[in-house]
Amino acid sequence: MTNLTQQVTLSSRIRIGPGKHRDWVVRVSTVFLAIIAIATLIAPFFTDLARKQSILDSLLPPGSPGHLLGTDELGRDVLLLTLAGTGSAIAGPVVIAAGSMLIAIIVGTLAGYLRGPVDWAVGRIVDVLLSLPVMLVAIVVAGIFGAGYWVTVGMLVLLFCPSDIRIIRAGVTEQAPRPYVEAAQMLSLSPARIMYRHIVPNVWPLILTNFMLNLAIALVTLSSLSFLGIGVAPGTPDWGRQITDGRGILSDNPAMLLVPAILIVLVAMAINVLGDYLGERLRERGMQ
Amino acid sequence: MTTSINARAGASSGLRLARTIALRVGGVLLILLVISFLTFTLIYLAPGDLVKNLLGNRPSTPAAIAAIEAQYRLNDPFFVRYVDWLVAALQGDFGISIRLQQPVTTVIASRLGVTGSLIAFSFILALITAVPLGIASAAKAGRLIDRVSSATALFGLSAPSFALAILAISVFAIMIPVFPAYGAGQGWLDQTWHLILPSAVLAAGIGAILMRMTRAAVLRELESDAITFARARGIPERRVQRIALRAALIPIVTSAGLILTFIIGGTIIVETVFALPGIGQLLEEAVLFKDLPVVQAITLLVAGSIALITILVDLSYMLLDPRVRARELS
């Protein structure tokens, strides 16, 4: 029953109205995400610069000379802080979405194609993991063990993969009885080859749309955790952390809080727009 | 003759239903057992001095340490401690909160009301706005109402609860001081007043998921062969739409799982930002102060409620869809 549930929710997650106006929304989202990707790549080079404190320049409002977005109470430049924070805000979610997808492709395909005891064991593990919400486990484990950034990211990879495994397994079981698989079996190709060279490419649309969905959820989850002070050390440039710090100086420099908050929302929206669009295109192609 | 066959079929399907439910409940109990073991292990492995944690802010005299060791049986083997804890937990005793020095059940019970009303308010708010909007935008797909509500849903889906919560506080509590910025308030009316802003923030995310689900489900139903056939037979449009809605209800109900995971994460965040003394805030504080018995009990409570709701959703699925009913009961 739950498998069916998953399938239904997956296929109904994606879909947004037709219309010409969507073309430019998709284009703008793509360009915006490209800019964010570049910012993520260059972000590490700005970390030291962003950490530079100067008490004389503390709490400058946005628009001050030399500090376009002003400074925080330690005199750190908000623009540099935001740029440096892009790294941890974006790199983690990409690793989470990609890592959980990779695990899910390997495990989900095994379970869906081989069935039998493998499928049963995977199914039971997934059942247990799915009955624990990601945020709860993340807060409890990372909070109690005081986990750092990459440990938190690794844990989120493990927490994200059960639902992915279920989705890919459903896709693979749907592909397994098809004639092309039978043909491959007749040629006595190895099961590994049938699974990963023949079946996986056919569930690719499922993988891609789910990757985009996970990316947006991971971005929101990770920034929520760092907002609570989990996964990032104090003083590290990070969007979620910046929002926590920005609450205290809201009246002096609202940019400290507003800029990263708006960026998180815009990035997540752009990812969702692109995910919806990709899902729709791939489904149209699949129907032809 | 036929009636007796029907009656027998009815009785045996009722029996099968009972068996299906019993199997599901058994599975859930097993999962809860596994989770209780996992959390117990996790807390056993937690870094830091357990005695120091358990002592809290009491002075660490040898006598106090000995008392703690005796009380929590720290010198017993791991499995003995787990079984002891499990037996006590089954009798409703989850130990004593380290930070608050009260039974865990009392602490949780005192926080349950706020969280319950927060979730209920926001769920109702989301339900009465998102479902009609979803139906309307599916019926008028591509038109203005669809574009506006789809864009709003996209925003609600993408904006993290903490950003929305801070935005809501800055606008509706500081810039235009209509609503209180934080706290739970005193008395029935004041408490409700304090819950409006947090509920609205939580409802934004729930509503976004619900609206997109409703829209997609109704749209798919309206395009389905069954509806085309119904229209071709000349069934009035109003009745056609009713048929489409009933069929669309199934995927909407099954989106409950997704919404549930969102609610749990969202409640923790919203209660923390608005300083609402609910379960979410209790968990956040308990993790911060390493109040391990409370963490353990809340984890089990959440896992238990999720399992219960999943069973209810699956049962309602059987109730709504004759195909699922036939498959599950055969």
Q: Under an 8 A CB cutoff, do B314 and A264 touch? A: no
Shortest Cα distance, chain B CAs vs residue A180, angstroms: 28
3-state secondary structure of B97: coil
Residue of B nearest to A259 (CA): B163
Q: pLDDT by residue (tens digit) across B96-130?
A: 887 888 898 999 999 998 999 999 999 999 999 99
Model confidence at B11, pLDDT cuts 50, 70, 90, reads: low
Greater pLDDT, B305 or B6? B305
Higher-confidence residue: A3 or B33? B33
With beta carbons less than 8 A apart as the criterion, state whether B320 and B250 touch: yes
What's the half-sphere exposure (Cβ side, CA atoms, 13 Å) at B248? 29
Share of chain A above pLDDT 90, in %: 27
B39 has a pLDDT exceeding 90: no
Give the Cβ contact number of residue B295 at 10 Å: 25
For A126, nearest residue in chain B (alpha carbons): B31
- Quote the tokens at residue B21: 């439910």
Mean pLDDT to the nearest integer, B171-199: 81
d(CA B49, CA B70): 16
Contacts of A226 (CB under 8 A, 6+ apart): A88, A232, A238, A239, A240, A241, A244
- Separation of alpha carbons B317 and B324, rounded Å: 7
Residue A276 has pLDDT above 80, yes or no: yes
pLDDT greater at residue B223 or residue A64: B223
- Nearest chain B residue to A135 by CA: give it: B265
Contacts of A271 in chain B (CB under 8 A): 158
Cα Rg, chain B, nearest whole Å: 25
pLDDT for res A264 = 93
Task: Indicate whether A95 pLDDT > 50.
Answer: yes
Taking only the tens place, the pLDDT of each residue in A159-190 is: 999 989 988 998 898 888 889 998 998 898 88
Residue percentage of chain B with pLDDT more than 90: 16
Could you say which of A17, A144, A223 has the minimum Cβ distance to residue B141? Answer: A17
Confidence check: pLDDT of B42 > 90: no
pTM, two decimal places: 0.84
State the Cα–Cα distance between residues A43 and B296, nearest whole angstrom: 39
- Minimal CA separation from A28 to chain B, in Å: 15
What is the chain A residue with the closest CA to B31? A128
Q: Which residue among B42, B161, B261 sits closest to A134, beta carbon to beta carbon?
A: B261
Strand stretches in A104-244, DSSP E: none
pLDDT at position A3 over 60: no
How close, in Å, is residue A11 to chain B by CA atoms?
Answer: 9
Q: Spell out the residues 6+ positions from residue A166 whose beta carbon is closer than 8 angstroms to its own.
A: A2, A3, A6, A108, A126, A130
State the Cα–Cα distance between residues A75 and A81, nearest whole angstrom. Answer: 11
Average pLDDT over residues B78-90: 85
Q: In B, which residues are within 8 Å of A136 by CB distance?
A: 264-265, 268, 283, 299, 302
Confidence band, pLDDT 50/70/90 cuts, at residue B184: confident
Q: Per-residue pLDDT tens for A116-175? A: 899 999 988 888 888 788 888 888 888 888 778 898 999 999 999 998 998 899 889 888
Q: Give the residue-averaged pLDDT of B159-176.
A: 86
How far B107 CA lies from chain A's nearest CA (Å)? 18
pLDDT at A28: 92
Instruction: State pLDDT tens for residues B244-295.
Output: 888 888 878 877 777 888 888 899 999 988 889 999 999 988 888 878 889 8
Among A15, A245, A277, most B C-beta atoms within 10 A, so best to mutate, is A15
The predicted structure's pLDDT at residue A287: 54
What is the residue whose two structure tokens read 């099954």? B254
Decide which of B32 and B321 is more confident: B32
**What is the residue-wise DSSP string for A228-276?**
TT-SS-TT---HHHHHHHHHHTTTT-THHHHHHHHHHHHHHHHHHHHHH
For B264, the closest of A9, A133, A268 (CB atoms) is: A133
B162, B174, B325: best to mutate for the A interface, most A CBs within 10 A: B162
Please give the ipTM for the structure prediction.
0.81
